[in-house]
Amino acid sequence: MAIMKISAGERKLEIPGRAVFADGPGGLAKIKINSASSSAEIFLHGAHVTHFQRKDEPPLLFLSQKSRFAEDQAIRGGIPVILPWFGAREGQPAHGFARTRTWEVKEIVPLPDGSTRLRFRLPDCAGAGFPPFTADYIVTVGDVLELQLVVSNASSDRELVFENCLHTYFAVGDISAVFITGLKGVSYRDKVENFAEKTETGDAVKIVSETDRVYQDTSGPVEIHDAALRRKIRVEKSGSASTVVWNPWIAKAREMADFGDEEYKTMVCVESGNVGKNKITLAPGKSATLTVKLSRAAL
Ligand code: BG6
């Protein structure tokens, strides 16, 4: 089993008792973070947040019991960083290369309010026909979980056209009692019906079958009402014009080797980014920042 190496420079960033490196499954290195009010785990593989939990509460994020942990595979659950393309691309892995590359840890900063801020950088952004670019991912673990993905076009003469998405898997108590608000009146592409263009008419989205929707031109907050866990998760974002809602439901869950047959009942993805018609075009030297804040309140 390959053990992912942590460099001496990265090792120096550890803050004992607050942010320490550990070996994860499959030999993949992770950082375990303890803040005053919460805990989190982030793998260097994909800069993948797999866990966030406020003290004395159930985890906010879903992580599949069947997830693979291997250098050439994406982790199933948590927050995959989707970049520089979303979905399928001919001759390339789905959802871009960022989620299966090893990111470097550049900073771990204890903040005065008891939270911890970590900065990751994707070391090698070349490939798949894109001009050179840089990607920094800043994760702040505190009372809430804040994520910031900054992409800069490092080319001197080419536009960078890309998609991004923080493909967040939320843990829910019982999908049949979940409803999602904040999308009324928003148009979406329904991937379950061959990308048919539709408009959300209801006050709330209920998940009652396979759901795979790319909501477009929407930057407002989305809330996941979870009666079983008696909580409401709030997804606030900026620099994001798309929201994706995904649940594989029964048949697709069975087809997925890295997802339990029954796990569709305890998760829903509400993803924030810029995909499809909302893809981003950056002139040489320009940057784009996607920020997502995840919080929760009792119901
Ligand atoms: C969602 C897509 O964002 O991710 C779905 O809209 C896709 O179409 C899902 O099935 C999971 O993708 P993957 O590549 O992680 O299996």
Whether ligand 1 lies within 6 angstroms of the CB of 254 is answered as no
Q: Under DSSP, is residue 181 helix (H, G, I), strand (E, B) or coil? A: strand
| CA–CA dist 66, 59 (Å, integer) | 17
- pLDDT number for residue 155: 94
- pLDDT number for residue 129: 92
Distance 38 CA to ligand 1 centre (A): 28
Q: Given the structure tokens 């950056």, which residue do they identify?
A: 282
Residue whose CA is at the smallest distance from ligand 1 atom 14: 94
3-state helix, strand, coil in the chain (%, to 5): 10, 45, 45
Per-residue pLDDT of the chain (299 residues; tens, 9 = 90+): 556 689 999 999 999 999 999 999 999 999 999 988 999 999 999 999 999 999 999 999 999 999 999 999 999 999 999 999 999 999 999 999 999 999 999 999 999 999 999 999 999 787 889 999 999 999 999 999 999 999 999 999 999 999 999 999 999 999 999 999 999 999 999 999 999 999 999 999 999 999 999 999 999 999 999 999 999 999 999 999 999 999 999 999 999 999 999 999 999 999 999 999 999 999 999 999 999 999 999 99
- pLDDT number for residue 124: 77
Task: Judge if pTM exceeds 0.75.
Answer: yes
Whether ligand 1 lies within 6 angstroms of the CB of 118 is answered as no
Distance 87 CA to ligand 1 centre (A): 7
Whether ligand 1 lies within 6 angstroms of the CB of 244 is answered as yes
Question: What would the two tokens of residue 181 be?
Answer: 């608000």
- pLDDT number for residue 5: 82
Please report, as a single letter, which amino acid is at residue 267: M
Distance 116 CA to ligand 1 centre (A): 30
What ligand 1 atom has the least distance to the C-alpha of 165? 3
- pLDDT number for residue 36: 84
Whether ligand 1 lies within 6 angstroms of the CB of 74 is answered as yes
* CB 271, CB 183: distance < 8 Å: no
What ligand 1 atom has the least distance to the C-alpha of 80? 15
Q: Could you tell me which residues are beta bridge partners of residue 223?
A: 181, 234
